[in-house]
Amino acid sequence: MKIGNRSIGQNEPLLIIAEIGINYGGHVGVAKNMVNLIAS
């Protein structure tokens, strides 16, 4: 299976997908900060 150009499977490196949902309270700055924290 592939997501974009990334192979997903038993012999592939772990892939973590973070989901923010509505936890950012509708504030774009908070959402961007959460994405940056998740990415680091």
5 has a pLDDT exceeding 80: yes
How is residue 31 written in tokens?
Answer: 């959402």
| Number of domain units in the chain | 1
Q: pTM of the full predicted structure?
A: 0.50
Plot region of 4 (φ>0 → left; ψ -120 to 50 → alpha; else → beta): left
Domain housing 12: 2-39
Best CA proximity match to 20, nearest among 8, 7, 36, 5: 36
The predicted pLDDT at position 12 comes to: 95
- Give me the torsion for CA of 21, 27, 31, 37, rounded to 10°: -120
What would the pLDDT profile of 21-33 be if each residue is shown by its tens digit? 788 888 989 988 9
